[in-house]
Structure 1
Amino acid sequence: MNYPDTYYSRTLADRKERPALSGNIDCDTVVIGGGLAGLTTALQLARGGQKVVVLESQSVGFGASGRNGGFVSAGYATGVEKIARINGTEAADKLYLMSIEGVDFVRDTITGLNIAGANPVDGVTSVMRYDDGAGMQSHAAEARHKYGQRLEYLDTATVRQNLKSNRYFHGLRDPQAFHIHPLNYLRGLANEIERLGGLIFEGSPAFATDLVPDRKQVRTSNGVVAARTVVFATGGYTGPVNPRLKRAFLPIATYVMVSEEAPEMIASAIRTRDGIGDNRRAGDYYRLIDGGKRLLWGGRITTRAASTSGLVHELRREMTNTYPQLSGLRTELAWSGLMAYARHLMPQIGEMQPGVWHCTAFGGHGLNTTAIGGKVVAEAILGQSDRHRLFSPFGLDWAGGVAGLAVAQLTYWKLQAQDWWRERAA
């Protein structure tokens, strides 16, 4: 199967192709979706001794899991304060600690499986585009006290030593966070699942299910998988096979571009290998790749089909407004991908009915949160924990359909405007 033309697909370390499902197969659990949530679930189930089958409609990592920014850092798309208002302070703290656990899980998996090409680079820095150093220092102190995070406060001089831009004032560096080549990581997970006896079928979209209590069936065009348990982990590319799940999130497109090789020009602006994200609610993220030879820059979202070239023009404007010295840096490659966002901006994880699980809506949450979502679903299926219940208040609420997409786009524009005014007032 072919991947979208991205930097990650061009630099894929493992180009193994997998067959489509043909015929009938029995297993313990069938996972629908070969992204990070689905593969992590399958890996943990296989480690627990289950016979697992993964059905992927395209190819492993085809969706947002394999073409995102590659950041692995703690937290969710919404803040701990909002989570606490819905779920209580104690549960909110446990959920945040779970996101930190996800960072460790991804790192340990890369090390333990010796995943070639994942190329982890330590350090993610969040930079502030207005002057509030006291607020950042307070946040760092609270994170250390409550969660044991050792965030490093960076003053304006230090930030501008690393990032040659007058747009930035302060920063918080998380030395435990890191960034990776996500598609190579996913392919490493897939190889380990197969080594443990799991089966992965590409080009095998599920088009029908029979979710009866005793023995469930998932049908593709050329085969049937029978299993005790079914896990839906389909993300932004969820089709009509599960209407309830499809109604419960909004498919949101995000955009990424990669520069030409220009290490000297890039070094005139960016002198750190940390992944960088700004504090705006509608912000950008970027990192050096190829050993500093290229710059990967992402951001912008749309709720409807948009021209990638047009959005790249906007991304370039953001980049050059931040770093005028990069105005001559050519964009060599750009792509987009769909992410799943719930209205409550939290992952949707749980049991829809006995033996039928969902693990989705990871847009904006990072690779670590997607991975820990798959891990807790596997724990529940194996009877090891009930940690998935922490996500119960964030259910499969209807996302609003076309109206929901319109509201999401208006909200994004509002956030952009608020960011603009806040920076001008600084």
Structure 2
Amino acid sequence: MHVAPSSYAGTGAHIDSYYAASANPAPERPPLVGDHETEVCVVGAGYSGLSTALHLAEKGYRVTVLEGARVGWGASGRNGGQIVNGLNASLQTIERRYGKDTARFVAGLVMEGGDIIRERVKTYDIACDLKHSNIFAALTGAHMRELEERHALWRGYGIETQEMLDRDALRAHVRSDLYVGGMIDHAGGHLHPLNLALGEAAAIESLGGTIHETSPVISVDTDAPRPVVRTAQGTLTCKTLVLCGNAYLGKVVPGLAIRVMPVSTQVMATEPLGAERARALIPSDACVEDVRYILDYYRMSADHRLLFGGGTVYGGSDPRDIVAKLRPNLDKVFPELKGVTIDYAWSGNFALSFSRVPQLGRLGANTYFAHGYSGHGVTGSHTFGRILAEAIDGDLSRFDVFASLPWYPFPGGRTFRVPYSVIGSWYYGLRDRLGL
């Protein structure tokens, strides 16, 4: 039995972001009050929890989701909204670290998350401004060689949705003089992330599932034959428990807290630029990210704002001035936007694993978990939600592959993981600046 601190989310209301300001209407769901039972309890109404719950509800399971704040309050409602295929750890890294068989297995599912999202949007008529294609932009010749290596390797595994772009070809998608070329993934895309989460929550309820908001979990008992989850006002006993708190699970389960580190990233939204000006900057309306270690990522919203993100703060704290942190990079990418008004700026945490590979596993016989997407959670969470649902339904074939991969603690443990990671980011940032 582990007891956690009080709620991390204040009133539980969404933070002041562009996404919250433009969110679709959604009901306020009541907290868990009293003692209840369910077949499957899912902790966390972000993408991992929602994906798991929706897959299980579609299979006929009785599912209850507990969320400490509002649906999509964490990273799932604050991220850059980019559908980027792959894990944070590249296929090159996975092949080198775990062998070709594991790399072949991962290659077989790295496109799955985007397909799940598109299927969900279509099946449940989710209004989330879904658009197609993402760009990887190169600032140096070394970056181009890295992309060419990735392109060749992915083609070797049968993935042929990517296309290399020289400088002129890239300008048909991104009108910035900063880049020497890039690569487009035609199977990528972008969307309004909070509205996707809200739509998936509504889909779960349409199939008979239950969601309790403002119900932060204060303890879990994973040793009992039927796991018990306790909130401030109630308990939920279940046959199967799924922990999907990711960066916001806190210390509820210390054995999971040591596996990942919260890292914050920042996003800001400009004033509406108008259709003509937006099209002049990103003609194809694809989303863009560069290939540096600490990268910029950006896209146009449905109402023609530039949503521009980047930066990292290890440990998950918010920078004092988000606009001051991001504005210099925006001005380098699009100098013509100097002086444009920034209407929103916000921050949020993702969970970083030391290996940069997401982690799936079990605690005891009846408690499952997924976390550690390391900044690639939009697609990965949807895939891993399906894999968790498969495992709970009796098909452990894909779950066991990921569960068997070794995980590594951050050097120095919780005390020194932040300074260690900062030193690493300085090193890779220097390599980026030197064009290595």
TM-score band, normalised by shorter chain: over 0.9
Unaligned runs of 5+ residues in structure 1 are none
Structure 2 counterpart of 1:274, one-letter code: A
Partner of 1:415: 428
Partner of 1:236: 247
**Matches of 2:59 and 2:26, distance apart in 1:** 27
Of 351, 356, 368, the residue aligned with 1:340 is 351
Structure 1 counterpart of 2:129, one-letter code: N
Q: Is the 8 A contact 1:136 1:170 kept in 2?
A: no
Structure 1 counterpart of 2:30, one-letter code: P
Of 267, 282, 287, the residue aligned with 2:294 is 282
Q: Is the 8 A contact 1:83 1:92 kept in 2?
A: yes
**Matches of 1:373 and 1:169, distance apart in 2:** 35
Q: Is the 8 A contact 1:95 1:390 kept in 2?
A: no
Of 96, 110, 115, the residue aligned with 1:104 is 115
Please give the secondary structure, in 2, of the residue aligned with 1:171.
strand
Q: Map 1:142-291; keep pairs closer than 5 Å.
A: 142-263=153-274, 264-291=276-303
Structure 1 counterpart of 2:328, one-letter code: R
Q: Is the 8 A contact 1:268 1:325 kept in 2?
A: no
Kindly state the Cα deviation for residue 267 of structure 1 after the two structures are TM-superposed.
4.3
Q: Is the 8 A contact 2:42 2:64 kept in 1?
A: yes
Structure 2 counterpart of 1:100, one-letter code: M
Partner of 2:369: 358
Q: Map 1:370-385; keep pairs closer than 5 Å.
A: 370-385=381-396
Of 369, 372, 379, the residue aligned with 1:368 is 379
Kindly state the Cα deviation for residue 273 of structure 1 after the two structures are TM-superposed.
0.4
Partner of 2:332: 321
Structure 1 counterpart of 2:271, one-letter code: E
Of 72, 80, 90, the residue aligned with 1:79 is 90
Deviation readout 1:215-252 (Å, 9 max, x if unpaired): 22111111111111111100111122211111111010
Please give the secondary structure, in 1, of the residue aligned with 2:435.
helix
When residues 386 and 165 of structure 1 are mapped into structure 2, their CA distance, relative to the original with a 3 A threshold, is same
After TM superposition, the score normalised by the length of structure 1 is 0.94
Q: Map 1:276-315; keep pairs closer than 5 Å.
A: 276-291=288-303, 293-304=304-315, 308=319, 310-315=321-326
Please give the secondary structure, in 2, of the residue aligned with 1:290.
coil
**Matches of 2:318 and 2:373, distance apart in 1:** 24
Kindly state the Cα deviation for residue 141 of structure 1 after the two structures are TM-superposed.
3.9
1:39 aligned to 2:56? no
When residues 126 and 35 of structure 1 are mapped into structure 2, their CA distance, relative to the original with a 3 A threshold, is same
When residues 232 and 395 of structure 1 are mapped into structure 2, their CA distance, relative to the original with a 3 A threshold, is farther
Q: Is the 8 A contact 1:245 1:396 kept in 2?
A: no
When residues 347 and 25 of structure 1 are mapped into structure 2, their CA distance, relative to the original with a 3 A threshold, is same
Partner of 1:54: 65
Q: Is the 8 A contact 2:228 2:236 kept in 1?
A: yes
Structure 1 counterpart of 2:419, one-letter code: A
**Matches of 2:266 and 2:428, distance apart in 1:** 18
Deviation readout 1:339-382 (Å, 9 max, x if unpaired): 11111111111112211111111231141111111110110010
**Matches of 2:114 and 2:88, distance apart in 1:** 15
Structure 2 counterpart of 1:129, one-letter code: L
Please give the secondary structure, in 2, of the residue aligned with 1:110.
helix
Kindly state the Cα deviation for residue 395 of structure 1 after the two structures are TM-superposed.
4.8
Q: Is the 8 A contact 1:213 1:354 kept in 2?
A: no
Partner of 1:121: 131
**Matches of 1:103 and 1:194, distance apart in 2:** 23
**Matches of 2:51 and 2:316, distance apart in 1:** 30
Unaligned runs of 5+ residues in structure 2 are 1-11
Percent identity for Structure 1 against Structure 2: 31
Deviation readout 1:8-36 (Å, 9 max, x if unpaired): 11111132110000112111111111110
Structure 1 counterpart of 2:53, one-letter code: A
Kindly state the Cα deviation for residue 86 of structure 1 after the two structures are TM-superposed.
3.0
**Matches of 2:371 and 2:146, distance apart in 1:** 33
When residues 142 and 208 of structure 1 are mapped into structure 2, their CA distance, relative to the original with a 3 A threshold, is closer
**Matches of 2:189 and 2:218, distance apart in 1:** 37
Kindly state the Cα deviation for residue 165 of structure 1 after the two structures are TM-superposed.
2.1
Kindly state the Cα deviation for residue 63 of structure 1 after the two structures are TM-superposed.
0.5
Q: Is the 8 A contact 1:20 1:203 kept in 2?
A: yes
After TM superposition, the score normalised by the length of structure 2 is 0.92
Q: Is the 8 A contact 1:308 1:334 kept in 2?
A: no
Q: Is the 8 A contact 1:73 1:366 kept in 2?
A: no
Partner of 1:401: 414
Aligned pair count? 421
Kindly state the Cα deviation for residue 109 of structure 1 after the two structures are TM-superposed.
1.0
**Matches of 1:91 and 1:245, distance apart in 2:** 24
